[in-house]
């Protein structure tokens, strides 16, 4: 067509003489049926109790991934939906689009299979037009299986693989001539910005058009770019001949934008690119797609990351896609809220760990200004089969085609700690290792090649763990950027080893582009410590670790950036820490309420004044008087701030002004019994306030009369507040006259990793893991020098004997010699104030391993003798996890 005709056509469009056949794109999430377990495709017995009505998003592992039973249900389930076609869809093409279903889905329409999809984290769709009956009721069914499958990544990982149709399902209704939606469930149109600088930007559009009519078609493809205010910047139109029942590709180039408004996290300027298919003969728009465009350029090298010509530090958070009580079945609002929350803490970067996330996530990141690392879930190890390779490559291609239109995406990743299984198996022969490394490299090279072909304008990345093996086996040199998941001061070594290690890697590999792709500590808002250490799960240690990392990483100029682990706590079925089945390295809890560290990042990263009194979740405190009879307990209070000085007040009295370092200042506060109003002010005019209800325990408890209640978390060095009962559990201590404490015994030190006391197991029959996970063995007694009176004494026990996982295991107890007896083979008797109360307590035999056992005993203290609990070992060592004495 000549220019004149094009002009004429544009004129007609302007004055509305061109009709638009609108594309319909809508969710069909409501009114599905669900059947747990496999059935025949012909089972339409939706009224039976085997089928349950529900709305999507849905997962069948919402609850069982968090109950005491090991594992969660993995197998085949069915979903069904009854679809009636409106009359005006006659003659249209109908595509059913799944944003994500975990993990192998087969879709049926009216009992005919329309296709199968492998992989739980990418979208897929099918053109179901020819299977549908117009005017009648159509039954769509999805057979979905989340069984473990050695050929589908992820094979195993530290997160729960919830099964279900856990994202939106959509119907897309289009003219038979439309952009190709079934090209790996992409939009069928790909917009790129091949060359951008401050003065000029180039825009390019590629795509495929499906012509499902039996005739040749002459169409126009019109591309229009609008700026953020809706002003039209340019239009370019091309002619295209579409063969009958064929897919035709097109490309529109030569579009230049002078002085583009650049996209960056600080100023996420988005243009809108509208691409239309116009049927010349009928003056009709046949299909239209809108794609956001952000003009920017970026690069990674050994000196760091550069955005729009300037050095730029990526400050990021990883994020998993599940939520308390819901598993991964989240509506879009949950996703949007998370990324708004991340942005509000001053981050400019996110790693979508460990899998592609909902389409809404990428869209919101474009808008908010969050740079994105997206990855496919090849975690821990690969299977050396052709199917695993094919599935991985397919997932990567799906991920890329589905997300490459998003300007926020800069990094495509494909492996996480991929040698960890092999490298942590010290017994594996070298030959086997070399083979695994070779298989892993082969797959990585294939994924690398595919990614470079698909998105030459983005960078590739993988995340490795702290092990020289990645260099040794040449896995660390494959991607453009290397992410290091580093847990110094948590799983290994000390906090300051971070700098030492990164500097040495940078010196050895000066051209390597490095991101710290994970770091963090588990923190529970119910555990609080005056001497925070790794694995006490205290909020205080979590803050200590992050504060150290923030300081160290800010001083490493070559570091491209970081992404902490993790924005939020998340479901991880194999964990049994303070809260079982949850990885608690979040800045926010599983329900997104904040932990202290969230505000530490606010102070460190936001350019606005921040002042925050820390340990904010710890408003109910107890402590022993610092000086006898002073009725005062000195207790540190930290304040996070980005000002120079902070002044702290307690009940209106100034405690002085202190300088801030590492965004923190610390005060010693002389807490008094009752309400303590703590106020902070800084030199930026900010103010914060926290009311703390403090109960002082006298050093000499022998005259304590009112509300005497002493609860001791035996074996623990931190305070623990029971979330439900609000009982404050004090740290363990050794008995001194006039006070309380244990007599004899040693704290059990055998968490399965460094620095730890206690055990990292879920305790059955209780929701208070931290009370039971620490304990003392071999103790002789526990004494409280309380005044005369009536008391309730509660004793808490747990058996920890990995060899006795079930009740009623018969031990050969004959001829036992104490030292040779494994933990758990024990029998002891307890007397309270000389009265035998529990005889021959054999926890393993009578209650089984790892079950919370509790006895409440009523006793009387007379003649100044206090409450005295005595342990007599009969076999092995006595044990005690907690003790509480309450005045009745
Ligand atoms: C890692 C893994 C991540 C885990 C995390 C942890 O290195 O990449 O999936 O959740 O450590 O908390 O241990």
From CA 369, how far away is CA 641, in angstroms rounded? 25
Question: Which residues make Cβ contacts (< 8 Å) with residue 534, sequence separation at least 6?
Answer: 489, 490, 521, 541, 545, 754, 755, 756
pLDDT digits (tens, 9 = 90+) for 234-276: 999 999 999 999 999 999 999 999 999 999 999 999 999 999 9
CA of 880 to the centre of ligand 1 (A): 32
Ligand 1 atom with least separation from CA of 465? 7
Residue 815: what pLDDT?
A: 35
From CA 110, how far away is CA 129, in angstroms rounded? 12
DSSP reduced 3-state for 63:
coil
CA of 376 to the centre of ligand 1 (A): 15
DSSP 703: G
Tell me the two tokens of residue 887. 């005045």
Q: 5 pLDDT band (50/70/90 cuts)?
A: very low
Q: State whether CATH 2.60.40.10 applies to domain 189-293.
A: yes
Q: Cβ atoms within 10 A of the Cβ of 837, count?
A: 18
416 lines ligand 1 (CB under 6 A): yes
Residue 627: what pLDDT?
A: 94
Q: What is the CATH number of domain 20-179?
A: 2.60.120.260
From CA 160, how far away is CA 164, in angstroms rounded? 12
Is the Cα torsion angle 880, 881, 886, 888 positive or negative in sign? Answer: negative
58 lines ligand 1 (CB under 6 A): no
Q: What is the mean pLDDT of residues 863-875?
A: 97
Nearest to 269 by CA among 229, 210, 316: 229
158 lines ligand 1 (CB under 6 A): yes
Q: What is the maximal distance between C-alpha atoms in the chain?
A: 111
Q: What is the mean pLDDT of residues 124-150?
A: 95
**Does 31 have pLDDT greater than 70?**
yes
Ligand 1 atom with least separation from CA of 354? 9
577 lines ligand 1 (CB under 6 A): no
CA of 77 to the centre of ligand 1 (A): 29
Residue 707: what pLDDT?
A: 87
Ligand 1 atom with least separation from CA of 485? 7
Q: Which of 11-20, 161-170, 615-624, 711-720 has the lowest mean pLDDT?
A: 11-20
Ligand 1 atom with least separation from CA of 157? 9
**Does 830 have pLDDT greater than 70?**
yes
Is the Cα torsion angle 309, 310, 313, 316 positive or negative in sign? Answer: negative
Ligand 1, atom 6, residue with closest C-alpha: 158
**Alpha carbon of 783 to those of 710, 833, 862, 879: distances in Å?**
11, 10, 14, 15
From CA 696, how far away is CA 680, in angstroms rounded? 23
Q: 822 pLDDT band (50/70/90 cuts)?
A: low
517 lines ligand 1 (CB under 6 A): no
Q: 16 pLDDT band (50/70/90 cuts)?
A: very low
CB 716 within 8 A of CB 790: no
Q: What is the mean pLDDT of residues 745-760?
A: 77
Residue 825: what pLDDT?
A: 80
CA of 162 to the centre of ligand 1 (A): 18
Ligand 1, atom 10, residue with closest C-alpha: 158
Q: Cβ atoms within 10 A of the Cβ of 699, count?
A: 15
CA of 71 to the centre of ligand 1 (A): 19
pLDDT digits (tens, 9 = 90+) for 51-99: 999 999 999 999 999 999 889 999 999 999 999 999 889 999 999 999 9
Higher-pLDDT residue of 809 and 659 is 659
| Strands laid side by side in the 304-307 sheet | 298-301, 304-307, 310-311
pLDDT digits (tens, 9 = 90+) for 683-734: 999 999 999 999 999 999 999 978 899 999 999 999 999 999 999 999 999 9
35 lines ligand 1 (CB under 6 A): no
**Does 3 have pLDDT greater than 60?**
no
pLDDT digits (tens, 9 = 90+) for 280-309: 887 889 999 999 999 999 999 999 999 999
DSSP 452: H
CB 226 within 8 A of CB 320: no
Higher-pLDDT residue of 17 and 533 is 533
**Alpha carbon of 391 to those of 265, 415, 447, 774, 856: distances in Å?**
34, 14, 11, 44, 57
Q: Cβ atoms within 10 A of the Cβ of 345, count?
A: 22
565 lines ligand 1 (CB under 6 A): yes
Is the Cα torsion angle 468, 474, 475, 478 positive or negative in sign? Answer: positive
DSSP reduced 3-state for 450:
helix
pTM here is 0.95
Q: What are phi and psi of 473, to 5 degrees?
A: -95, 10
625 lines ligand 1 (CB under 6 A): no
CB 118 within 8 A of CB 144: no
Q: What is the mean pLDDT of residues 156-182?
A: 97
Residue 455: what pLDDT?
A: 98
143 lines ligand 1 (CB under 6 A): no
522 lines ligand 1 (CB under 6 A): no
Q: 9 pLDDT band (50/70/90 cuts)?
A: very low
From CA 178, how far away is CA 399, in angstroms rounded? 22
**Does 17 have pLDDT greater than 80?**
no
Q: 334 pLDDT band (50/70/90 cuts)?
A: very high
Q: State whether CATH 2.60.120.430 applies to domain 700-887.
A: yes
518 lines ligand 1 (CB under 6 A): yes
Share of the chain above pLDDT 90, in %: 90
pLDDT digits (tens, 9 = 90+) for 376-394: 999 999 999 999 999 999 9
Ligand 1 atom with least separation from CA of 463? 8
**Does 7 have pLDDT greater than 70?**
no
Q: What is the CATH number of domain 608-695?
A: 2.60.40.10
484 lines ligand 1 (CB under 6 A): no
Integer-rounded Cα radius of gyration of the chain: 32
Residue 757: what pLDDT?
A: 81
Ligand 1, atom 2, residue with closest C-alpha: 158
**Alpha carbon of 39 to those of 80, 120, 705: distances in Å?**
12, 21, 67
Is the Cα torsion angle 588, 594, 597, 601 positive or negative in sign? Answer: positive
485 lines ligand 1 (CB under 6 A): yes
Residue 749: what pLDDT?
A: 85
pLDDT digits (tens, 9 = 90+) for 475-523: 999 999 999 999 999 999 999 999 999 999 999 999 999 999 999 999 9
Residue 14: what pLDDT?
A: 43
What does the DSSP assignment read for 544-586? HHHHHHHHHHHT-TT--EEEES-SB-EEEEEEESSSEEEE---
DSSP 263: B
320 lines ligand 1 (CB under 6 A): no
CA of 766 to the centre of ligand 1 (A): 26
Tell me the two tokens of residue 399. 């991920």
**Does 820 have pLDDT greater than 80?**
no
For the chain, give every residue range classified as CATH 2.60.120.430. Answer: 700-887
Residue 283: what pLDDT?
A: 81
**Does 802 have pLDDT greater than 80?**
no
DSSP reduced 3-state for 295:
strand
């Amino acid at each position: 067509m000549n220019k004149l005709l094009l002009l004429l056509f544009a004129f007609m469009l302007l004055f509305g003489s061109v009709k638009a056949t609108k594309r319909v794109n809508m969710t069909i999430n409501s009114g599905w049926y669900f059947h747990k377990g496999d059935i025949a495709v012909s089972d339409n017995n939706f009224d039976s109790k085997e089928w349950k009505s529900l709305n999507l998003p849905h997962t069948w592992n919402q609850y069982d991934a968090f109950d005491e039973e090991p594992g969660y249900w993995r197998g085949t389930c069915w979903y069904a939906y009854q679809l009636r076609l409106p009359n005006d869809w006659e003659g249209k093409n109908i595509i059913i689009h799944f944003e994500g279903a975990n993990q192998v889905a087969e879709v049926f329409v009216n009992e005919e299979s329309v296709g199968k999809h492998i992989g739980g984290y990418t979208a897929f769709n099918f053109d179901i037009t020819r299977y549908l009956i117009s005017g009648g009721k159509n039954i769509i069914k999805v057979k979905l299986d989340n069984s473990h499958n050695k050929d589908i990544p992820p094979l195993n990982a530290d997160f729960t693989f919830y099964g279900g149709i856990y994202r939106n399902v959509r119907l897309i209704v289009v003219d038979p001539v439309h952009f190709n939606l079934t090209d790996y469930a992409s939009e069928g149109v790909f917009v790129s910005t091949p060359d951008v600088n401050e003065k000029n930007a180039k825009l390019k559009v590629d795509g495929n058009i499906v012509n499902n009519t039996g005739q040749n078609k002459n169409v126009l493809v019109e591309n229009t770019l609008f700026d953020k205010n809706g002003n039209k910047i340019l239009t370019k139109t091309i002619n295209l001949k579409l063969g009958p029942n064929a897919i035709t590709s097109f490309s529109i180039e030569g579009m230049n934008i002078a002085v583009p408004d650049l996209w960056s996290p600080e100023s996420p300027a988005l243009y809108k690119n509208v691409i239309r298919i116009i049927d010349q003969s009928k003056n009709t728009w046949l299909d239209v797609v809108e794609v956001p465009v952000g003009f920017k350029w970026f690069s990674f090298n050994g000196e760091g990351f550069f955005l729009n010509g300037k050095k730029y530090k990526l400050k990021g958070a990883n994020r998993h896609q599940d939520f308390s009580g819901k598993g991964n079945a989240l509506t879009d609002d949950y996703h949007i809220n998370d990324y708004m929350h991340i942005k509000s803490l001053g981050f400019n970067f996110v790693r979508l760990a460990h899998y592609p996330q909902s389409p809404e996530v990428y869209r919101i990141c474009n808008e908010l200004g969050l740079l994105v690392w997206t990855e496919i879930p090849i975690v821990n190890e690969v299977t050396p089969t052709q199917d695993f390779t094919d599935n991985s490559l397919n997932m990567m291609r799906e991920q890329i085609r589905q997300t490459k239109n998003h300007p926020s995406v800069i990094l495509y990743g494909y492996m996480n700690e991929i040698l960890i299984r092999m490298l942590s198996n010290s017994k594996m022969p070298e030959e086997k290792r070399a083979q695994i490394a070779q298989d892993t490299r082969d797959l990585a090279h294939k994924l690398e090649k595919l990614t470079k072909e698909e998105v030459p304008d983005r960078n590739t990345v993988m995340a490795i763990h702290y092990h020289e093996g990645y260099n040794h086996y040449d896995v660390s040199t494959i991607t453009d950027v290397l992410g290091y998941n580093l847990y110094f001061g948590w799983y290994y070594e000390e906090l300051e080893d971070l700098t030492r290690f990164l500097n040495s890697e940078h010196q050895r590999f000066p051209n390597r582009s490095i991101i710290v792709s994970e770091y963090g500590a588990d923190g529970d808002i119910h555990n609080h410590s005056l001497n925070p250490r790794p694995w006490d799960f205290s909020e205080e240690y979590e803050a200590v670790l992050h504060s150290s990392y923030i300081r160290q990483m800010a001083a490493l100029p070559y570091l491209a950036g970081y992404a902490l682990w993790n924005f939020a706590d998340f479901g991880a079925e194999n964990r049994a820490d303070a809260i079982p089945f949850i990885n608690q390295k979040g800045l926010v809890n599983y329900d997104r309420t904040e932990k202290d560290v969230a505000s530490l990042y606010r102070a460190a990263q936001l350019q606005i004044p921040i002042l925050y009194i820390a340990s904010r979740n710890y408003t109910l405190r107890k402590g022993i008087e610092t000086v006898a009879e002073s009725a005062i307990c000195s207790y540190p209070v930290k304040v996070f701030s980005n000002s120079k000085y902070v002044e702290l007040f307690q009940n209106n009295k100034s405690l002085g002004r202190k300088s801030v370092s590492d965004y923190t200042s610390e005060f010693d506060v002389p807490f008094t019994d009752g309400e303590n109003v703590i106020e902070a002010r800084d030199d930026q005019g900010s103010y914060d306030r926290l009311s703390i209800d403090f109960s002082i325990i006298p050093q000499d408890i022998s005259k304590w009369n009112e509300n005497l209640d002493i609860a001791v978390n035996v074996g623990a060095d931190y305070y623990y507040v029971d979330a439900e009962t609000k009982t404050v559990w004090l740290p363990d201590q050794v008995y001194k006259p006039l006070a309380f404490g244990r007599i004899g015994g040693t704290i059990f030190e055998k968490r399965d990793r460094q620095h730890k006391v206690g055990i990292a197991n879920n305790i059955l029959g209780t929701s208070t893991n931290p009370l039971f996970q620490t304990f003392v063995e071999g103790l002789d007694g526990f004494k409280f020098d309380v005044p005369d009176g009536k008391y309730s004494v509660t004793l808490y026990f747990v058996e920890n004997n990995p060899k006795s996982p079930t009740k009623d295991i018969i031990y050969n107890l004959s001829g036992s010699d104490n030292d040779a007896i494994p933990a758990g083979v024990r029998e002891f008797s307890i007397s309270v104030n000389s009265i035998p109360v529990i005889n021959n307590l054999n926890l393993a035999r009578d209650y089984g391993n790892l079950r919370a056992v509790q006895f409440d005993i009523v006793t009387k203290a007379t003649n100044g003798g206090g409450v005295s609990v005595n342990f007599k070992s009969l076999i092995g060592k006595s044990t005690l996890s907690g003790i509480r004495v309450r005045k009745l």
